[in-house]
Structure formats: C-alpha cells, structure tokens
Amino acid sequence: MIQDFTITKIIKGILQENRIDCDVENGADVLNSCMAYRPFENKIVFNNHKLNATHHRSFKDMDVVDFVRIIAYHEIGHIIDFRTNSDLTRSRVCFEKSAWDEGLKLIPSELKDGYIQVREKHMEKINLSMG
C-alpha cells in the first residue's frame, strides 16, 4: 500500500520535472476517483484508498509506484489540455481522450506500455458508462 506522503512526492516530482505549477492535495474525503485535476483551483487531488484499491484490483502486476506515476501523467494531460482548450462543453470522452493523448507525449519511455494499458482500460470503462 502506497502512502499519502509518497504519492504527493511522486506527483510533485513529475510536475517539477515538467515545469508545471500546480498544487497537490489528498482529497480522499471528497474524491471518488484515483486522481483528478481541478482546473479552477489549479490543483491535483488524489484518493490514496482508491489508488491502492484500483491498483490491487485491476493492475496488481504493475509496480504501484509506476501506477501512481501513470495516473499522474494522465492528470498532467488534463492540465495541458485545459490550458490549451478550456471549452467545458466538450464530452467527458473527449476530455479524457485529450488528457491521455497529452500525457502520452510526456511519459517516460519505460512507462509507455503501462500507460497505454491503463488508458485502454479507463477509456473502455468510460465508453461503457456513457453508452
């Protein structure tokens, strides 16, 4: 099980490496997903319980730190997408696809296969919930 401090350190490190100014906070008490970018607060919030549960349930063969890094790059994809296109009328599928595409441009090569695996599973879940 990965702890709050470690998750925060991972996310802040990735933000710093990519020269992105954004706050990070544990939002376990209010967040129903692993991680989310809140554009009007310029903040990435995470739910350590949801991160650990999702990792254990769906990606247990993947290193938990790599899983957290992958989700963080996806959220950074949201930051970049929102800064270049703040149209809030787009569909959820469009928002998510754009974020995954933007995150893929930044993710280190050693995480690309895992990133694609997580993206495919996430997009499949969203497509099922939308239709």
Name the residue ranges covered by the structural domains of the chain. 4-130
pLDDT in tens, 87-115: 777 788 899 999 999 999 999 999 999 99
* CATH class of residue range 4-130: alpha beta
Cα–Cα distance, 56 to 66 (Å, whole number): 13
> How do beta strands 23-26 and 35-38 pair?
unpaired
Close Cβ partners of 31 (under 8 Å, ≥ 6 residues apart): 45, 46, 47, 50
pTM: 0.93
pLDDT value at position 125?
Answer: 85
Please write the tens of the pLDDT for every residue from 7-64: 999 999 999 999 999 999 998 776 688 999 999 999 999 999 999 999 999 999 999 9
pLDDT, position 129: 66
For position 86, what pLDDT does the model report? 78
